[in-house]
Amino acid sequence: MERGSAPRLFGTNGIRGVPNRDLTVEFAQSIGKSIGTFFRAREVAMGRDTRLSGQMIMGAVQSGLNSTGTDTVDLGILPTPALQYYCKNTGMPGVMITASHNPPQYNGIKCIDSDGSELAREKEREIEVIHHSGQFHSADWNSVGRNRWDSTAEELYVRGVASRVSVDRIRASAFRVALDTGNGASYRTSPELLSRYGASVTTLNSNPDGLFTARPSEPVEANLKALISTVRSGGYDLGVAHDGDADRCVFVDERGQFVDGDRSLALIVRHTARNGDVVVTPVSTSDAIEEVCSEVGARVVRTVVGAPVVIRTMIETGARVGGEENGGVIFGPHQYCRDGAMTMSLVLDLMARTGRKLSELLKEVPEYHMFKASVERKKPWEEVLPLVLKYAEGRKVDRTDGVKVFHENGWVLLRPSGTEAIIRIYAQSRDRGYARELGEEYREFLEGAQLR
């Protein structure tokens, strides 16, 4: 079968859909067979987040893997980066059942390579080709795979994260932290880390709830009112929030002010990148990253949106740090993946090392304002794209990913989501009002353009 003829299944971050509608048991089992045929590994590690459909989808993928003669190692509910750390340390490939920040009705299948990084796009393509061809490896009856349980992954991960910071220094600071795990996969690991750091911790939504009853999974300001209110009640040094699979982390400073992931990324880069380093980030990140890197003598490399591409570029260029504007920081010395607990630990270590509050540290970061929105994608992106280019005629345009249009006092990026049927809008300016105005202008344009 020709590689180019196989329709795409993997989006920006794995395969996603609504169980029993897009993500049926039969489909998940077929993907399991495809993964097993592709890897031809003796064992594959598996984990899941707290979603209600997790066991069902995981069981289907497991049976598909078993049919190819592949054993699976069930690590239970744990953050995606914890599964990735397990894969890195055991040399096993892995499969994570998660839809990350998406609403609770979604779930997904994400493949992890044996080095712990998200599977490269070309390897995902191979799995798609196998799935569409139906040419699966089928083991003899006495060689089918079996499943075993391993309860050590969480402790391995927590120790690994803690080993990258000065635990004694953080403990000496005796931080007070409010932590919102959003009923997701970090409900055990992040509280445990903070306990080892000697922090006094108030937890919010730190119980597994696959319906995300307390708040939507995505850790944006509108969804973190309870955390912000808790920090504002006084006496806290930091507020921390994760998404459903805890590969992201955002902060609330000691005054109760929400900190956009774009700014926390720039802050970490400023104190981590060194002269001559490469810092990798997608085109959706603000220009603050360029200014920060210029200060320390590092070079910025821009990529398309999506952690797998950022990670591959980091590996290829030897970058120590990179990440996305959504709270997804990638710290290479630990592992090449977005890691919410590592991000939390880096910020606590920075606060302990400098003896400064987060709000004070953020004064070092150039202030750019980001406005984010989305519109339902009613037409194929290929039909919308010419209309966008015509609307942007006469302006500088970057086509790295979607269309990034530069205006005199800011820019706007329009790109089709790789996980949902929407077009994402990112607008940036030093002026908060102008960023919103620019984003709203293009939202109105997109809504009208799709009616033509």
Active site residues: 100
How far CA 239 is from CA of 102, 288, 405, in Å, comes to: 22, 23, 34
Q: Residue 407: left if φ>0, alpha if ψ -120 to 50, beta else—which one? A: beta
Burial class of residue 16 (count of CB atoms within 10 Å of its CB; 0-12, 13-18, 19+): buried
Report in angstroms the alpha-carbon separations of 44 from 56, 127, 141.
18, 15, 19
Burial class (CB in 10 A: 0-12, 13-18, 19+), 156: middle
Strand order in the sheet with 15-17: 15-17, 107-112, 94-97, 43-48, 71-77, 147-149
Which residues sit opposite 282 in a β-bridge? 303
DSSP state letters, 38-103: HH--SEEEEEE-S-TTHHHHHHHHHHHHHHTT-EEEEEEE--HHHHHHHHHHH---EEEE--TTS-
User: What is the C-alpha separation between 52 and 3, in angstroms, rounded?
Assistant: 35
What CA–CA distance (Å, rounded) separates 21 from 74?
25
Count of CA atoms in the C-beta half-sphere (13 A) of 410: 25
**Three-state SS for 317?**
helix
Q: Do the bridges between strand 397-398 and strand 369-376 make them parallel or antiparallel, or are there none, so unpaired?
A: unpaired
Q: Which of 202, 147, 156, 157 is nearest to 178 (CA)?
A: 202
What stretch of H or E contains 375?
Answer: strand 369-376
DSSP 165: S
